[in-house]
Chain A
Amino acid sequence: GESVGLHLPTLSVQEGDNSIINCAYSNSASDYFIWYKQESGKGPQFIIDIRSNMDKRQGQRVTVLLNKTVKHLSLQIAATQPGDSAVYFCAENAGGTSYGKLTFGQGTILTVHP
């Protein structure tokens, strides 16, 4: 299943399906992007990051795609599991001396049904 972060903030999938979570970022000067997972009552947990000189990066079961032309970021989760249920945020960083000052997207609620 797919979500467009700004208009469909919830995504429900069946266990084993692939999930795609989308994010539009705003600052063309941003050079570093991170996806975070947040479970209820906890802080953000790092999933994967990508720098602006790349357009794709893969991790374990996750892939991040970056399209700088349209300022779009996506997170693909393969073989989604119930434990993946959480809120997912993209974050952008303008870099330089402001490194670490993140601007977060609105978030997408992912629900995985067994």
Chain B
Amino acid sequence: GAVVSQHPSRVICKSGTSVKIECRSLDFQATTMFWYRQFPKKSLMLMATSNEGSKATYEQGVEKDKFLINHASLTLSTLTVTSAHPEDSSFYICSARDGGSDNSPLHFGNGTRLTVT
């Protein structure tokens, strides 16, 4: 069964509004989670690394004020797309690391399809 849960699975919002996406580790604690973005028929691109109790680390070219990440607990990271525009429409996927070692399994959520109208 799924060990990383994303919510919602689909969301449609209007331009200018903000949308929050949740990523939860269901049966393990994740000090580190990762957020990816995927456009149709394209690969996954890492957006940011979410660290529990500290600020997220963003990849080059990703606006931190646009994509707010909060890792408030060991089982929950949230991605908020602020002032969404149609070009933000995408498939957002999180992954979580089950443990701190290099042998720790990585688990992916089933993604959130965001459509901005």
* B-binding residues in A (CB < 8 A): 32, 34, 36, 41-46, 89, 95-96, 99-107
Contacts and interface: CB of A to CB of B under 8 A. Distances in A.
A66 B97 CA distance: 24
A102 B102 CA distance: 13
A44 B108 contact: yes
Given A34-B106, A44-B93, 18 more contacts: A36-B108, A41-B110, A43-B6, A43-B93, A43-B110, A44-B108, A46-B108, A99-B97, A99-B102, A99-B104, A100-B49, A100-B106, A101-B49, A102-B34, A102-B44, A104-B45, A105-B43, A107-B43
Interface string B16-46: 0000000000000000101010000011111
Nearest to B2: A43
Contacts of A107: 42-43
A46 B104 CA distance: 13
Contacts of B108: 36, 43-46
Interface size class, chain B: 20 to 34
Given A32-B102, A43-B110, A43-B111, A102 B93 contact: no
Considering residues A34, A42, A100, A103, which has the most beta carbons from chain B within 10 angstroms of its beta carbon? A100
Contacts of B102: 32, 95-96, 99
A105 B38 CA distance: 12
Contacts of A95: 102
A103 B46 contact: yes
A104 B36 CA distance: 10
A107 B43 CA distance: 6
B114 to A, nearest CB: 13
A61 B105 CA distance: 21
